[in-house]
Every structure is written in structure tokens, then in C-alpha cells.
Amino acid sequence: MQWYNEPPQWQTLTNGLRLTTGAQTDFWRKTHYGFIRDDGHFYYQTVTGDFTVEVKITGQYRVLYDQAGVMVRENETTWLKCGIEFVEDIQHVSVVVTRDFSDWSVVPLLQPPPSLWLRVQRRAEAIEIQYSLNGEDYQMLRLAYLTRTKTVQVGLMAASPQGEGCEILFEDFKMVLPDQSY
């Protein structure tokens, strides 16, 4: 795996990745706010075709829009990020789909979980995002069109758009391709 916008502090662990986000970092394009940000942290690998990704995410979210999750990226104008985003002092499960303009959908988690599990599946041009609060029971968050391009970058994403940084722990990251056992 490799970095796109390496964070100021990070460490690979036996079963994960720990990092501290840089200040005022984000991935966003145009919609509503009018600006373009492409300086969030993305630890990725390149994948061709369908895949399933799972990861457990634990974060010290403190400031508006602190975030961590999974990103699927074709280029700077076509990408998807999903995971936890800190909004109005609570954690939200969040998805942003960008095809030149970013959209944004959130579901508030009124009881903040200690961790969130994500499952992201690509089938052709569609991405399905599921989340779990216990690592076992998943529910669908969104099914979105992303791109017909077969080769994309897939991995872990984190950012602090308004804060000075937050600590994130990714654990049990795994990627399964169609010709592998799940």
C-alpha cells in the first residue's frame, strides 16, 4: 500500500494502522461550499475489477468534520469516501460520492460507538456500503454509482477539515477479490 497525502504521524501495526491527521485536511469538491480540497490522507492499493473491503475504525473525533473510513478513487474528480464523520458533536455514518461535484449523506449515531465496522463492495460500476456497530450485524447505508473505469485505488482515508488533527486506528483491514474465498 502507498500514501496519497501522507499524514504527519502514522505507524503500521501487526493488525492495523494508527495515524494522526494533519490540520485542515479534506476531500471535497465544489458543492455548496464552492471550494476544492484534495489533501486528506489516503493509504491505498490499486485494484482492478470487483472487490470487498472490510475494516474496523476507532477514532478520537473532537472537531467538526473529523473523519475516517474507506475511499474508492479513480482520480481527483471521481471518488467515494465513507465512514465516520463528526458533525454537531456526534458521530455520523457518512458517505460522500464525487463525480466532479461532491454529494453528502449522513446517518446520526445517537449513542457513539467505540468503533465502527465498514464493508465496501464493488460490483461493476456500483459501490455498496454497509456498516456495523458490533462487527457482525451489518446494515446497508448506500448503493451508489461511481465509475465504469475498471482500475481504481482502494484504501483507508482520514481527514480533519476544521481541526488540528485527530487520532485514528484502523484494524483488521482486509480486501477480498472475486477469485478468493471470503
Q: Kindly report the pTM of this predicted structure.
A: 0.95
Cα–Cα dist 78/15, whole Å? 30
Predicted confidence (pLDDT) per residue in 163-179, tens digit: 999 999 999 999 999 87
Longest CA–CA separation in the chain, Å: 44
State yes or no: pLDDT of 130 exceeds 90.
Answer: yes
pLDDT band per the 50, 70, 90 thresholds, residue 180: low
Residue 68's pLDDT band (cuts 50, 70, 90): very high
Q: Which three cell numbers stand for residue 96?
A: 460522500
Instruction: Give the side-chain half-sphere CA count within 13 A for 104.
Output: 14
Q: Which residue do the cell numbers 487520532 mark?
A: 167
Sign of CA dihedral 124, 126, 127, 130: negative
CB within 8 A of 118, min separation 6: which ones?
53, 54, 55, 57, 69, 70, 82, 83, 129, 130, 131, 132
Domain spans of the chain, in order of start:
17-176
Q: Which top CATH class is 17-176?
A: mainly beta
